[in-house]
Amino acid sequence: MSATFTPFRRRPIRMLNGVGERLRARGVSVVDLSADTLRRRAEKATGLPWVTDPQSDEALDVLCTSIVEEAGLSLFGALVIRARMHGILCTRLRVADLIRDRPDITGVSIEPPIVIAGLQRSGTTMLHRLIAADPQVRAVGSWEVIHLLPRKRERPGRPTIRVAQTRMAELALRYLNPRFFAIHAVEADGPEEDVLLQEYSLLSQVPEAMLNVPSYSAWLRRQDMHGSYAYLKMLLQVLHDQNPQPRWVLKTPAHLENLSTLLDVFPGALIVQTHRDPVRTTASFSSMLAHGHSMFSDHVDAESVARHWLELNGAMVDRALDVRAQHPEVFVHVHYPDLIEDPLAEVERIYTAAGFALTGEVRARMEHHRAGHGQNAHGVHSYDLEDFGLTVDEVRAVYSRYRAAFGL
């Protein structure tokens, strides 16, 4: 644990992890996270055969090896990650089975979406949830991310059980790490980042945002991400089949790394890039990362995590600048101070560019949403660059090109 970062830990979790440490000292492995074991468990749970795909199979092998050898999971963390991986793999098999039975789903047209892609902590969540308040615009819900496919005997348009299960997971997260909610509130029935859908492709930034998996991170940087975005599109088609809605608003900072690929898979997409002083975003996001990692490991090197993401984010915004130079017409730029001062004015600019109508009724819905989601509603988030071994000068140096482009 870094000297400047102290994680929140409930007493029962501390006790469970203590048991895990003692077993590990005796050479006892309690949780098997090998790729082959996870494949077999998914096949047994679903009764479906494994679907071979060279890139995703390699991704699973690399990821599992990286988790086992590098993540330093606590016993609680290992149990949670095993359950998470099991859910992902079972869903992959069930989606493949669905598409075999219903190939027409992949023929559904996805209209050019609004895609919010700015640095973490730059207003992306606020803007995403504001636009998602428009009943004519479809966002990926938290409950859909976790429970993608309908339950047996679930009535169309009535995902009551799935929402309730997600709400229980939200309450569990609140119990396990209430500090995390001051940083990023998770709402079971609210919109969520679509990078969590990409996680089902096994090619996404999600693992490195949660865990120390440097080998997987390095491997991921070398991959052609078209497969990940094609899988994302297919999952949007699966969700559309459950709840038809032509207009989508997507959101994740991770898209900054792959905007060219995104535009190949979603031609005509409107990219909304949010901007905020990277000194502020780096400090805030480093704190979010440290708290997130601490849920899975008792040994979090907060400075190492912060430096990994500082380098990664710097490369991401530079890649986004390259795409902007080639396709300036697909971008709308939103500066954080403007968004805070008059959020609906920024939404109106976005809607004008997207060809959407911002009616009085939609404005009222957005105002109502905003009134109920003020800053610090879940507590005050305190953070400082020095807590993570970073300085203002080195952050500014990493983001020099980005800062010059947008006057930050």
- In this predicted structure, what is the pLDDT of residue 152? 82
Residue 61, Cβ density class (10 Å: 0-12 exposed, 13-18 middle, ≥19 buried): middle
- The span from the CA of 114 to the CA of 346, in Å, is 13
pLDDT of residue 378: 43
Q: What is the 3-state secondary structure (H, E, C) of 364-382?
A: HHHHHHHHCCCCCCCCCCC
Q: What is the pLDDT along the chain (408 residues), one digit of tens a residue?
A: 444 567 778 888 888 889 888 888 888 888 999 999 999 999 999 999 999 999 999 999 999 999 999 999 999 999 999 999 999 999 999 999 999 999 999 999 999 999 999 999 899 999 999 999 999 999 999 899 999 999 888 888 788 888 888 888 888 878 777 766 656 567 777 899 999 999 999 999 999 999 999 999 999 999 999 999 999 999 999 999 998 887 999 999 999 999 999 999 999 999 999 999 999 889 889 988 998 899 999 989 999 999 999 999 999 999 999 999 999 999 999 999 999 999 999 999 999 999 998 999 999 999 998 887 655 444 444 568 888 999 999 999 999 999 999 998
> Please, are residues 116 and 71 in contact by the beta-carbon 8 Å criterion?
no
* Residue among 399, 136, 360, 153 nearest 243 (CA): 136
**Nearest-angstrom CA–CA distance, 299 and 327:** 43
Distance CA 92, CA 401 (A): 40
DSSP string computed for 147-172 = S-SPPTTPPTT--HHHHHHHHHHHHH
Tokens of 237: 């088609």
Write down all domains in the chain, each with its CATH number in brackets: 11-406 (3.40.50.300)
pTM above 0.85, yes or no: yes
Tokens of 277: 């002083």
Q: In the prediction, which pLDDT does 234 show?
A: 97
**Nearest CA-CA partner of 137 in 243, 263, 230, 233:** 243
Alpha carbon distance 331, 116 (integer Å): 10
